[in-house]
Amino acid sequence: MLHHVEIYVADLEKSRLFWSELLELLSYELYQTWSGGFSYKYEDTYLVFVQTEEKFLADGYHRKRIGLNHLAFHGGSKERVDFFRDKLKAAGVNLLYEDRYPFAGGENHYAVFFEDPDKMKVEICTEVTT
């Protein structure tokens, strides 16, 4: 079982605004806060967000480099995935693969894909049975 994932971010406050609302809608609860980061927990797993040190900011993040490609969260139902898509779109979040929504992940995979403030890909999905 996964214990936690730690993600370094370019702008802690931008990330806090983005991730806090999203994770709370996904039933995560604020777990820890400190001057250089924060975390959200769901059951026994938590996500940690930490401000990247200035000297490491220059190269930025890109999901196609070695390392984390994206985080995917259970959406629960097609309606719930649609709810997230509508909310993200209204907030001006960059949605990915819009031309293939909601089946960009395959015919049995109903999902919305989008980017966080550092352009990390995030997915909220549910499986579709035929």
d(CA 46, CA 71): 13
d(CA 109, CA 7): 26
pLDDT computed for residue 36 by the predictor: 97
d(CA 44, CA 69): 23
Alpha carbon distances (Å) from 99 to 31, 77, 106 = 37, 21, 13
For residue 102, say if its preceding peptide bond is cis, omega within 30 degrees of 0.
Answer: yes
* The residue to which tokens 């890909």 are assigned: 121
The answer to whether the CB of 48 falls within 8 A of the CB of 7 is yes
Instruction: Give residue-wise pLDDT tens across range 65-111.
Output: 878 999 999 999 999 999 999 999 999 999 999 999 999 999 999 99
pLDDT computed for residue 60 by the predictor: 87
d(CA 62, CA 90): 25
pLDDT computed for residue 59 by the predictor: 87
Instruction: Give residue-wise pLDDT tens across range 21-71.
Output: 999 999 999 999 999 999 999 999 999 999 999 999 998 888 888 789 999
pLDDT computed for residue 66 by the predictor: 76
Which residues are bridge partners to 127 per DSSP? Answer: 109
pLDDT computed for residue 130 by the predictor: 62
